[in-house]
Amino acid sequence: MNQEVKPSKVLNPSTPWTDRPVPGIHVPDAQETLKASFTEPTVECPECHSLITLTAMSFNAYVCPQCDEHLRMRARERLTWFFDQVDHELGQEFIAKDPLNFVDSKPYSARMQEAQKKTGESEALVVLQGTLKGVAMTACAFEFDFMGGSMGTVVGDRFVQAAESAIAKKQPFICFAASGGARMQEGMLSLMQMARTSAAIEKVKAAGLPYIVVLTHPVYGGVTASLAMLGDVHIAEPKAMIGFAGKRVIEQTVREKLEEPFQRAEYLLDHGVVDQIVHRHALRDTVYRIVSKLMNI
């Protein structure tokens, strides 16, 4: 009870009784409150520039509460959000090699280590199996922050293993795509993954199991040209950019200015490339509904 109180506050008779310090109770002043609020990490919405606390964002599935912009979700966070319960992870035994000893401005191995440190993931694809509303599913998600979610041999290995495991367990296969395309540091080997993953998807379809693709911002290059466009159903998140070559490359080639919403999900919906655009808050319900219809659950 020997709490130090400011004498001016106690002695000044004009201080209203509500402002007088109570022994044993610490009331933070305005300055301290301000400091406390600044310690919570915030995320800036790239669209409306509101500062939203990380907690509020993660509770809202990384959809901006101010303007409804869909921010990027980390692969692992995306899958744990998608599933009600995660049973296990696949593909962690595959580790990338550097068969070409590729060096651009940095060696490939150094880039790899950097990406691993940045994301906490060993590769650009995360595969988890779990249940959504009681239905067992296999789902994979691309980690865009891992070298642009690029598809190398390990991504191919993990994807094929996921497809085979889905077939063995008779589960639907869901893919959350977000990628810049094939990984140039692996040259031809990364391009071969386009054929490998396409063949694996064919096996899933031959087994009569649904393969559903959720296109998240952005999906480009070799991933668009293979596994991201072979789904039974293509769902896109609002405003996601989806294409093969980037907008600037096309503009330089055709010498025409391409206006918004070119390559946006809404444009692709109008042109029949995607089947529906689903708000992230409705995504789990939508995938569940589609899967249960296709599998007669």
The string of DSSP codes covering 20-41 is: SPPTT-----HHHHHHHHHHS-
Nearest CB to Zn ion, comparing residues 60 and 109: 60
The alpha helices in the chain, defined as continuous H runs, are: 7-11, 30-39, 54-59, 75-82, 108-119, 153-168, 188-206, 221-224, 247-254, 265-270, 280-294
Q: Does 162 bind Zn ion (CB under 5 A)?
A: no
Could you tell me what percentage of the chain is helix, strand and coil, using 3-state DSSP and rounding each to the nearest 5? 40, 20, 40
**Least distance (Å) from Zn ion to the CB of residue 48?**
3
> Which amino acid appears at position 24 of this protein?
G
Q: Does 52 bind Zn ion (CB under 5 A)?
A: no
**Least distance (Å) from Zn ion to the CB of residue 63?**
9
Confirm whether residue 140 is marked as ligand binding: no
Residue 256 CB contacts under 8 Å (≥ 6 apart), including other chains:
none
Nearest CB to Zn ion, comparing residues 71 and 139: 71
Nearest CB to Zn ion, comparing residues 57 and 265: 57
Confirm whether residue 175 is marked as ligand binding: no
**Least distance (Å) from Zn ion to the CB of residue 68?**
7
**Least distance (Å) from Zn ion to the CB of residue 215?**
21
Question: Quick one: which segment of 46-54, 76-84, 116-124, 267-275 binds Zn ion (CB under 5 A)?
Answer: 46-54
Nearest CB to Zn ion, comparing residues 64 and 178: 64
Q: Does 48 bind Zn ion (CB under 5 A)?
A: yes
Nearest CB to Zn ion, comparing residues 47 and 98: 47
In the block, tokens 């808050």 appear at 281
Binding residues for Zn ion, rule CB under 5 A, total 7
Nearest CB to Zn ion, comparing residues 71 and 112: 71
Helix (H) or strand (E) holding 130: strand 125-132
**Least distance (Å) from Zn ion to the CB of residue 91?**
34
Residue 170 CB contacts under 8 Å (≥ 6 apart), including other chains:
207, 209
**Least distance (Å) from Zn ion to the CB of residue 65?**
8
Distances from the Cα of 45 to the Cαs of 59, 65, 66, 81, 291, in angstroms?
15, 9, 9, 20, 32
Enumerate residues 56-115 that contact Zn ion by CB under 5 A: 64, 66-67, 69
In angstroms, rounded to a whole number, what is the distance separating the alpha carbons of residues 57 and 74?
A: 13
User: DSSP label at 259?
Assistant: P
Q: Does 45 bind Zn ion (CB under 5 A)?
A: yes
* Binding residues vs Zn ion (CB under 5 A): 45, 47-48, 64, 66-67, 69
Annotated binding site for Zn(2+): 45, 48, 64, 67
Question: What are the binding residues?
Answer: 45, 48, 64, 67
